[in-house]
């Protein structure tokens, strides 16, 4: 029996539209899940009509809005090439794959969740450092797991790593801040001025190893990962500004 083309197309679309899901953990609420996965409570409810705030059960699986399929990694794939091939931004791809280390090589056969083009279009535009303005070669401060990507509401990267993991200066510069910042909630924080309009900030440290006025080189250890200030676990909050404007740190790499 031959399956009509329209039916085949519909079945193919349904298989691609299998949305990403999340398992509810004890203590989870719709609000916490929405914040954790970069969506809204209303969007979660629309994607899960049987669920209402306060009625979540541990172990239940919820559909995450926006995910419409997956990509199986092929030989030679990188996050950038996958994003370009799918017509989405790198930030949107990372947002759909929370916990993915952007510096770790992809493995052949690995599955990546793909956001819908609609949700990808909603990703806030992230300023990039143009080579014509500043030419940079940067070191990733920590080899950690990306837990929060760069967003308009969170203009930095959160990179989870064990307490005590060395934090390295992304570029050469001079330390202009090295202190405990309770007002901003950063805890122990280090700010490096690179002298060309760019600064990088490293926060929630367990210890600062560089003093104000110290000249540091790219890759030099300046602090250690911690969970000080407003933090829920050991990680690095990595921020980059150019002429005072926050930019996505991933645009440097």
CATH number at 145-252: 2.70.70.10
Q: Are 241 and 248 in contact (CB under 8 A)?
A: no
CATH label, 67-121, candidates 3.20.20.30, 3.10.350.10, 1.10.3720.10, 3.30.420.40? 3.10.350.10
Low-confidence ranges of the chain (pLDDT < 70): 1-20, 31, 34-43, 52-55, 65-69, 80, 84, 86-92, 95, 98-99, 101-103, 116-136
Q: Which two tokens stand for residue 215?
A: 């000249």
CATH label, 20-63, candidates 3.40.640.10, 3.10.350.10, 3.10.50.40, 3.30.2350.10? 3.10.350.10
Question: Against a cut of 0.75, is the pTM above it?
Answer: no
Q: In whole angstroms, what is the distance from residue 232 CA to residue 239 CA?
A: 18
**Whether the domain at 20-63 and the domain at 67-121 fall into the same CATH topology:** yes
Q: Are 33 and 24 in contact (CB under 8 A)?
A: yes
Instruction: Quick: pLDDT tens for 154-196.
Output: 999 999 999 999 999 999 989 989 999 988 899 999 999 988 8
pLDDT at 118: 44
Domain borders along the chain are: 20-63, 67-121, 145-252
């Amino acid at each position: 029996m031959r399956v009509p083309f329209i039916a085949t197309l519909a079945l193919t679309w349904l298989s691609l539209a299998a949305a990403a899901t999340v398992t509810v953990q004890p203590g989870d609420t719709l609000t916490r899940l929405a914040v954790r996965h970069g969506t809204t409570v209303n969007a979660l409810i629309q994607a899960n009509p049987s669920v209402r705030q306060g009625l979540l059960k541990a172990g239940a699986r919820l559909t995450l809005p926006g995910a419409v399929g997956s990509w199986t990694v092929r030989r030679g794939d990188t996050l950038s090439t996958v994003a370009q091939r799918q017509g989405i931004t790198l930030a949107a791809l990372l947002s759909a794959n929370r916990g993915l280390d952007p510096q770790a090589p992809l493995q052949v056969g690995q599955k990546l969740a793909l956001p819908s083009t609609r949700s990808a279009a909603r990703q806030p535009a992230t300023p990039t450092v143009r080579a014509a303005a500043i030419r940079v070669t940067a070191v990733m401060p920590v080899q950690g797991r990306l837990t929060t990507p760069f967003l308009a509401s969170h203009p930095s990267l959160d990179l989870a790593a064990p307490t005590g993991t060395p934090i390295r200066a992304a570029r050469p510069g001079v330390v202009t801040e090295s202190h405990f910042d309770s007002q901003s909630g950063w805890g122990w924080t280090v700010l490096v001025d690179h002298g060309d309009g760019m600064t990088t900030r490293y926060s929630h440290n367990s210890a600062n190893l560089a003093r104000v006025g110290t000249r540091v080189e790219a890759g030099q250890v300046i602090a250690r990962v911690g969970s000080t200030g407003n933090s829920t676990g050991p990680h690095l909050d990595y921020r980059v500004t150019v002429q005072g404007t926050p930019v996505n740190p991933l645009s440097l790499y």
